[in-house]
Amino acid sequence: MSSDLRHRLGKHGERLAAEHLARLGFDIVERNYRTRWGELDIVAFDGTTLAFCEVKTRRLTAAGGPLEGLRALQRQRVRKMAESWLIERTERPYAELVRFDAIGVTIDATGKLVSIEHLEGAF
């Protein structure tokens, strides 16, 4: 799969994940925050909880679930990116709780949503 197709698949999955979070009552504070360690997919806030969300998207035909791709090194990078975001974004909402969520999005060959697996406080 070319990197352009992977990029489009990832962006589609992030959009679906953001819609899922909105249905749960979260406001999307930021998407695709770039740092030297990579890109933080979604920062969301529901009035109490600030969630740093890592989104993994796979097609239904791919072996394994989307969250199998979330390795220890990537979790560590997400934590560093969140720390950078918290330092840089001084006008952020006050949150009683900060957590790291993993959202796995599975889509079929036509791009339709098959499933969303949302692990709150995944790491």
CB 65 within 8 A of CB 18: no
Q: In CATH, what number does 3-119 get?
A: 3.40.1350.10
In the predicted structure, residue 42 carries a pLDDT above the cut 70 = yes
Q: How far apart are the first and last CA of the chain?
A: 29
Q: Domain extents for the chain?
A: 3-119
**Tens digit of each residue's pLDDT (9 = 90 or more) over 60-114:** 876 778 898 788 999 999 999 999 999 999 999 999 999 999 999 999 989 899 9
The residue written with tokens 């489009």 in the block is: 8
Q: What confidence tier does 2 reach under pLDDT thresholds 50, 70, 90? A: low
Alpha helix segments (H runs only) across 24-71: none
Q: Which residues is 27 bridged to in the sheet?
A: 45
Q: How far apart (Å, rounded) are the C-alpha atoms in residues 32 and 17?
A: 13
pLDDT for 52 = 98
Q: How far apart (Å, rounded) are the C-alpha atoms in residues 21 and 15?
A: 10
H or E segment and range at residue 101:
strand 97-107
**Tens digit of each residue's pLDDT (9 = 90 or more) over 12-34:** 999 999 999 999 999 999 999 99
